[in-house]
């Protein structure tokens, strides 16, 4: 596999994954670049034991997880009320809402749903995350319900 | 496939970003390599400068007693331990397989964090003990030529400086590191729990 091809094919996907995880444009871009730096360094070690996609998404999701080490110690406080938020939010395009809602999920759920929406097969998601396929399926179902609920609360969907 | 009538997949792929050129990524990679190389160079020159300085003392003042020589060797050793452990932390200890699945990766990260903390504490203890022993031995030759009360003053001053380091600065460093490690560990454990939730 040539790095250039991998980079072309997966850049958007990895960026979206990071964006779902953080919902911060600049940070997501940084994280995606860091992922590709690791990919570039590790590529000679890739042994075709899994598909290149699975391998790459493992690296990408792991670097999302490792973001915790770099973040400041105290997480940002949530917006205290929904009221002020709602006016502003309803003008946002729906896709931005989706990313916002995903980034508010627990970390593991963010990864699972991002992979699912990226059209990664559920059996591959299971390999990336390290859970059984059945377990992944159940989780995806629940996460989608949660997201639908959030959209409904915003009078959408 | 999607719940309700929202097409999540369509919304998801509406997020677009321009792809930075490969050139761009290369620049970043070079910066990364350069900063790593710089760190190694700084570490090595610090280490060599210290060692040279102490060797210079050895040659120039020609210590007579074996205690002084042992002292010098111990001081160099302590400084070496300190510099190497604080820079190698970046390399050897943080190396971890990036291509494991998330579950395994989290497990490895937890082990790694504990190991880092252990190394940090052990190295810090080793640094202070060896440095103190080295200083005490090194001083002996010169203080033995002083009047007894001046020799005492010299040892008391050095001793109290070492005590401040050992009883105040060292534990504070360790506590700070511990609470940072604990915080990160608990956040990794939270994610583990999320994954294993039925």
Whole-model pTM: value is: 0.81
Q: Kindly determine whether residue B98 and residue A38, on different chains, have CB atoms separated by under 8 Å.
A: yes
Handedness of CA B145, B148, B153, B158 (dihedral sign): positive
Taking residues A93-103, report their average pLDDT. Answer: 92
Contact list in A for residue B194 (CB cut-off 8 A) is 106-109
Q: Which of B23, B33, B22, B20 is nearest to A4 (CA)?
A: B22
Q: Which residue has the higher pLDDT, B33 or A96?
A: A96
Split at pLDDT 50, 70, 90, the class of A47 is: confident
> What pLDDT is attached to residue B87?
67
User: How far apart, in Å, are the Cα atoms of B29 and each of A35, A150, B18, B25?
Assistant: 11, 40, 19, 6
- The reply to whether B28 touches chain A by the CB within 8 Å rule is yes
Contact list in B for residue A69 (CB cut-off 8 A) is 184
| Chain B nearest CA to A82, separation (Å) | 22
How far is residue A110's CA from residue B114's CA, in Å, rounded to a whole number?
26
CB A114 within 8 A of CB A125: no
- The reply to whether A117 touches chain B by the CB within 8 Å rule is yes
Name which of A25, A29, A107 is nearest B191 (Cβ-Cβ).
Answer: A107
| Chain A nearest CA to B99, separation (Å) | 5
Chain B, 84 to 123: residues with Cβ < 8 Å from chain A are: 98-106, 109
Split at pLDDT 50, 70, 90, the class of A73 is: very low
Six-digit token string for A137? 């399926």
Position A74 pLDDT exceeds 50: no
pLDDT in tens, chain B (198 residues): 444 568 899 999 988 888 888 888 888 878 877 877 787 788 778 878 887 888 888 888 888 899 999 998 899 899 888 877 776 555 555 678 899 999 999 999 999 888 888 888 998 899 999 999 999 999 998 899 989 999 999 999 999 999 998 999 999 989 998 998 899 999 999 999 999 987
Contact list in B for residue A132 (CB cut-off 8 A) is none
Name which of B4, B13, B32 is nearest A148 (Cβ-Cβ).
Answer: B4
3-state secondary structure chain A: CCHHHHHHHHHHHHHHHHHHHHCCHHHHHHHHHHHHHHHHHHHHHCCCCCCHHHHHHHHHHHHHHHHHHHCCCCCCCCCCCCHHHHHHHCCCCHHHHHHHHHHCCCHHHHHHHHHHHCCCCHHHHHHHHCCCHHHHHHHHHHHHHHHHHHHHHCCCC
Contact list in B for residue A19 (CB cut-off 8 A) is 15, 17
């Amino acid at each position: 596999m040539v790095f250039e091809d991998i980079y072309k094919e997966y850049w958007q996907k990895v960026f979206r994954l990071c964006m779902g995880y953080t919902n911060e444009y600049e940070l997501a871009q940084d994280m995606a670049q860091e992922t590709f730096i690791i990919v570039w360094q590790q590529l000679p070690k890739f042994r075709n034991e899994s598909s290149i996609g699975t391998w790459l998404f493992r690296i990408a999701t792991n670097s999302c997880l490792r973001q915790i080490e770099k973040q400041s110690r105290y997480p940002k406080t949530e917006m205290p009320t929904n009221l002020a938020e709602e006016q502003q939010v309803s003008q946002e395009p729906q896709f931005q809402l989706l990313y916002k809602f995903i980034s508010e999920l627990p970390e593991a759920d963010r990864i699972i749903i991002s992979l699912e929406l990226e059209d990664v097969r559920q059996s591959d998601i299971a390999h990336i995350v390290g859970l059984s396929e059945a377990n992944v399926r159940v989780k995806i179902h629940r996460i989608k319900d949660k997201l639908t609920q959030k959209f409904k609360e915003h009078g959408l969907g | 496939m999607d719940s309700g009538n929202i097409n999540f997949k369509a919304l998801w792929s509406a997020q677009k970003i321009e792809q930075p050129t490969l050139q761009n990524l290369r620049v970043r990679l070079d910066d990364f390599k350069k900063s790593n190389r710089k760190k190694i160079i700084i570490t090595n020159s610090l280490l060599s400068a210290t060692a040279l300085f102490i060797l210079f003392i050895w040659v120039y003042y020609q210590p007579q007693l074996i205690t002084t020589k042992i002292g010098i060797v111990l001081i160099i050793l302590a400084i070496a331990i300190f510099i190497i452990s604080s820079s190698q932390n970046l390399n050897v200890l943080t190396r971890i397989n990036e291509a494991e699945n998330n579950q395994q990766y989290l497990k490895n990260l937890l082990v790694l964090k504990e190991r880092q903390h252990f190394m940090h504490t052990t190295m810090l203890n080793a640094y202070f003990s060896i440095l103190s022993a080295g200083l005490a031995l090194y001083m002996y030759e010169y203080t033995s030529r002083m009047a007894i009360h001046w020799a005492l003053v010299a040892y008391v001053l050095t001793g109290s400086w070492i005590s401040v380091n050992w009883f105040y600065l060292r534990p504070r460093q360790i506590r700070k590191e511990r609470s940072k490690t604990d915080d990160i560990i608990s956040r990794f454990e939270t994610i583990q729990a999320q994954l294993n939730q039925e």
